[in-house]
Amino acid sequence: MDDALKAPSRRAFLKGSAAAVAGSVAAGAAVAAEPDPLITELQDWASSLGEGVDETPYGLPIKYEDDVVRRNVPWLTADPISSINFTPIHALDGTITPQGCAFERHHSGAIELSKPDYRLMINGLVDQELVFTYADLERFPRENHVYFCECAANTGMEWAGAQLNGVQFTHGMIHNMEYTGVSLRTLLNEAGLGAAGDLKDKWVYVEGADASSNGRSIPMEKALDDVLVAFKANGEALRKEHGYPVRLVVPGWEGNMWVKWLRRIEVTDMAVESREETSKYTDVLADGIARKWTWVMDAKSVITSPSPQSPITHGPGPMVISGLAWSGHGQITRVDVSKDGGMTWETARLGRQGDTKALTRFYLDTEWDGEEMLLQARAMDETGYVQPTKAQLREVRGENSIYHNNCIQTWHVKTNGEAENVEVS
């Protein structure tokens, strides 16, 4: 235990927690040597007054949590205007991601588009090409759903091996929110699909209003299935960086298709094959041939704590291993955890039965013997799919991929409680 305290973690949030750690040691088995002044001495907060209401009309987290923020990896991209950052999943629990720390991905920056200036056009192979205002959208029947949104490049840097030392960086291109919106099917029906004829080979091209004109082609089956035109997330308006006032939600499919600042929906008879669905978001296999239209995000899980940014700060004894699991094919049915790099596994407890295509929280309530661990998690979904190892993925796809890396992740937990991103045999 002393080792854990002496070993200086470079993570800032540990610095302030020495007292808490000492407290937890005292609270463990032994009797406290001296009375705890936090209890025996009158504390300022127990005597003087705190802030009044309205001090902060829209509240931010308390200052003690100011390290729970999005972070980026500057060397990944040429310019922060066209870049990505990462959700601090190491510091969150439950399943809902607060909008303020949910990862951002912009191609030409986050624009400010007001509701009065907002227009949504439906054109192409429809009976009547239409224009909606924001107010129009709020008059259609609304739905609420919780869905995860994962960038296809999440964990992409790990194709080449263990690189980034933090679950925020390896797995933080994901968020999970409760959306309110109108089903795309309702809007397409309003324009009428009679003109499209047989719907089986038809597509919907969706486009954003920002300077990148990011657009993707979605097959009609999906468009009529569960796609949402959303304007609220977690009960409040979408944040600017998440596409205010309106974004598309494409459940279970790669985040690039969730077009922000949605301005146009075009019914077409072929895929547009725009830049983001040919030169990007395609997967080069070992022989140089690339897969396209790899839309679904396969089942995946990761342990968020302990992890490199969230080391163990207590001694041997009871501990909680926790993480997230999700599948673009439906519900997570089971998550197994290994402490020895995949030799033996035990089944974790799901926080609650997860929603379809949404994050599921899992816990392994266990005992730490103070020894090293090689922690892994392995998810299964309702289709029977089992999350693969890195070796299994590489065997099928080679090592030239960028996207769709859903491999089993390994954290090496040392005797002092620190954890490191490693790859194992």
- Determine contact, residues 358/234, Cβ cutoff 8 Å: no
Which of 7, 68, 237, 296 binds other proteins (CB under 8 A)? It is 296
Q: Does 112 participate in binding other proteins (rule CB under 8 A)?
A: no
| Least Å from the CB of residue 24 to other proteins | 23
The alpha carbon of 154 is separated from its chain's Cα centroid by a whole number of angstroms, namely 9
* Subset of 264-283 contacting other proteins (CB under 8 A): 264, 266, 268, 270-275, 278-279, 282
Q: What are phi and psi of 18, to 5 degrees?
A: -60, -45
The DSSP string of 188-244 is HHHH-SGGG-SGGG-EEEEEESSTT--EEEEEHHHHTTT-EEEEEETTEEPPGGGTT
Q: If phi over 0 gives left and psi between -120 and 50 gives alpha, with beta otherwise, what is residue 387?
A: beta
Yes or no: say if 247 and 173 are a contact pair by the CB < 8 Å rule: no
Residue 107 interacts with other proteins (CB under 8 A): yes or no: yes
Which position among 19, 27, 195, 211 is part of the footprint of other proteins (CB under 8 A)? Answer: 211
Structure tokens at 252: 């279970």
- Applying CB under 8 A, the span of 30-38, 94-102, 191-199, 351-359 interacting with other proteins comes to 191-199
Examine residue 79 and tell whether it contacts other proteins (CB under 8 A).
Answer: yes
Q: Which stretch binds other proteins (CB under 8 A): 33-41, 75-83, 87-95, 146-154?
A: 75-83
DSSP state of 111: -
Q: Burial level of 192, CB count in 10 A (0-12/13-18/19+)?
A: middle
As a whole number of angstroms, the distance between CA 376 and CA 266 comes to 43
Per rule CB under 8 A, is residue 17 in the interface with other proteins?
A: no
Considering only 32-40, 237-245, 315-323, 336-344, which stretch makes contact with other proteins by CB under 8 A? 336-344
Asked if 284 touches other proteins (CB under 8 A), the answer is yes
Note whether 108 binds other proteins by CB under 8 A. yes
Closest CB to other proteins among 1 and 7?
7
Q: Which residues between 127 and 166 bind other proteins (CB under 8 A)?
A: 128-133, 136, 139-140, 161-166
Contact between 63 and other proteins by CB under 8 A: the answer reads no
**Contact between 59 and other proteins (CB under 8 A)?**
no
Beta-carbon contacts of 229 under 8 Å, excluding residues fewer than 6 positions away, are 120, 137, 181, 182, 183, 184, 187, 246, 248, 249, 262
Instruction: Name which position in 267, 298, 331, 348 contacts other proteins (CB under 8 A).
Output: 298
User: Can you tell me which of 1, 5, 7, 11 binds other proteins, judged by CB under 8 A?
Assistant: 11
Considering only 21, 25, 26, 71, the residue that binds other proteins (CB under 8 A) is 71
Our CB check for other proteins shows the closer of 45 and 75 to be 75
Q: By CB under 8 A, tell whether 68 contacts other proteins.
A: no
Ranges within 218-247 binding other proteins (CB under 8 A): 219-222, 224-225
Q: How far, in Å, CA of 107 to CA of 52, rounded?
A: 41
100 lies in the binding site for other proteins (CB under 8 A): no
Enumerate residues 35-54 that contact other proteins by CB under 8 A. Answer: none
C-alpha torsion sign, points 251, 303, 106, 160: negative
- Both tokens assigned to 237: 């308006």
**Encoded tokens for 15:** 């610095």
- Using CB under 8 A, which of the segments 35-43, 69-77, 228-236, 312-320 binds other proteins? 69-77
Closest CB 307 distance from other proteins, rounded Å: 11
Residue 190 found at the interface with other proteins (CB under 8 A): yes
One of 121, 237, 319, 350 touching other proteins (CB under 8 A):
121
Contact between 415 and other proteins by CB under 8 A: the answer reads no
> What angle (nearest 5°) sits at the alpha carbon of residue 258, between those of residues 156 and 231?
140
Instruction: Please state the φ and ψ torsions of residue 252, each to the nearest 5 degrees.
Output: 80, -10
Q: CA-to-CA distance for 169 and 70, rounded, in angstroms?
A: 10
Nearest to 122 by CA among 200, 243, 223, 226: 223
Q: Which of 22, 32, 197, 293 binds other proteins (CB under 8 A)?
A: 293
